[in-house]
Amino acid sequence: MSGVTNPAIRDRSRVGFIGLGNQGAPIAERIARADYDLTLWARRPESLQILAGKAKVAGSITELAASVDILCICVVDDAGVRDVCDAALVAMTPGSMIAIVSTVHPDTCRSIGKAAALRRIAVIDAPVSGGAIAALAGTLTVMMGGSQADCARFAPLAETFASLVVRLGEIGSGQAAKLINNALLTANLMLAHEAAFCGSVLGLESAALSRVIAASSGNSEAHAILSRLPDLQSFAHGARLLAKDVDLFAALLTREGGTAEHIVGEASAFLSIFDPASSDPKGTP
């Protein structure tokens, strides 16, 4: 990562990982493949099976926290991050680090950072983009927020599962960038969905139109996502995760006196398709 780390330096910190979901598990697998001393903990023991024999397993969060130099947290939401950090901070040794890989509110990272600093424990936020496929391939994007020194320390570990590792600023900055990205993706999903609907209204063969858009200037990651789906409702779980992020984005902007009516408007329109209380005026192509 330009200006942050020397690729020739290979860190061999003891790493802990909590949050072995759809994206967390392949990230942890990439870390294990890079020969880091990796320890895992999970609320659901069955989620550990995918990494059986590739990492150590701790019996509790505190046991894990006491034995690692860098703790990566990749759970679903703010409450989950706070719960893990509350348990971990009492056991972590001074000089160790927490990397919040989850997508959460920037203030969550800042408040944890303040509490950790009292124990001389570093905290950075390092949310990722790219999904499970990119995680498996090691081509995620990592958006870091934290001091230059702390981000430089984490960067070699991030490079085991990411092809782009960028520091955005102080703690919370990575989360702000991730929320912008996810709100924009959600808005683009609405535009891509509407474009497909327009094609059906105009009598175009849907697969042919999709191929044309994919090879033309109107292409986007949102179009690629929708093109892979067997039907729109199969994206319901992804929509729920994006709804959390769009809400955080809108609240953060409002607090700071900013607006993004077009992004939030289109994103909200897309998410309403998955709300049973709403109807999709454009149908489901």
Per-residue pLDDT of 60-109, as tens digits, reads: 999 999 999 999 999 999 999 999 999 999 999 999 999 999 999 999 99
CA–CA gap between residue 138 and residue 132 (Å, rounded): 10
Same domain, 166 and 200: no
Per-residue pLDDT of 194-240, as tens digits, reads: 999 999 999 999 999 999 999 999 999 999 999 999 999 999 999 99
Q: Are 47 and 20 in contact (CB under 8 A)?
A: yes
Same domain, 234 and 206: yes
Same domain, 153 and 239: no
SS3 of 20-50: CCCCHHHHHHHHHHCCCEEEEECCCHHHHHH
- Domain of 93: which CATH number? 3.40.50.720
pLDDT value at 281 more than 90 = no
pLDDT of residue 6: 41
Cβ neighbours of residue 103 closer than 8 Å, sequence gap 6 or more: 127, 175, 178, 179, 182, 244, 245
Structure-block tokens of residue 52: 């059986």
> Is 87 a domain residue?
yes
Same domain, 118 and 254: no
Per-residue pLDDT of 98-139, as tens digits, reads: 999 999 999 999 999 999 999 999 999 999 999 999 999 999
Same domain, 50 and 121: yes
Active-site hit among 114, 178, 244, 282: 178
Place of tokens 């927490």: 98
Same domain, 81 and 197: no
Q: Are 186 and 267 in contact (CB under 8 A)?
A: yes
User: Does this model's pTM top 0.85?
Assistant: yes
Distances (CA, A) of 168 to 4, 99, 103, 138, 177: 11, 15, 15, 21, 8
> Is 62 a domain residue?
yes
> Is 225 a domain residue?
yes
> Is 30 a domain residue?
yes
Work out how many domains the chain is built from and give that number.
2
Q: Are 242 and 186 in contact (CB under 8 A)?
A: yes
* Nearest to 129, CA basis, from 261, 242, 11, 13: 242
> Is 1 a domain residue?
no
Choose one of 151, 171, 191: the last residue of a domain: 171
Q: List phi, psi (to 5°) of 152.
A: -65, -35
- Domain of 217: which CATH number? 1.10.1040.10
Listing DSSP states for 78-90 in one string gives HHHHHHHHHHHHT
Percent of the chain residues topping a pLDDT of 90: 92
Same domain, 150 and 197: no
**Residue 131 CB coordination number (10 Å):** 15
Residue 84: exposure state from Cβ atoms within 10 A (0-12, 13-18, ≥19):
buried
Q: Is residue 178 among the annotated active site residues? A: yes
State the residue range of the domain holding 220.
177-272
Choose one of 149, 171, 193: the last residue of a domain: 171
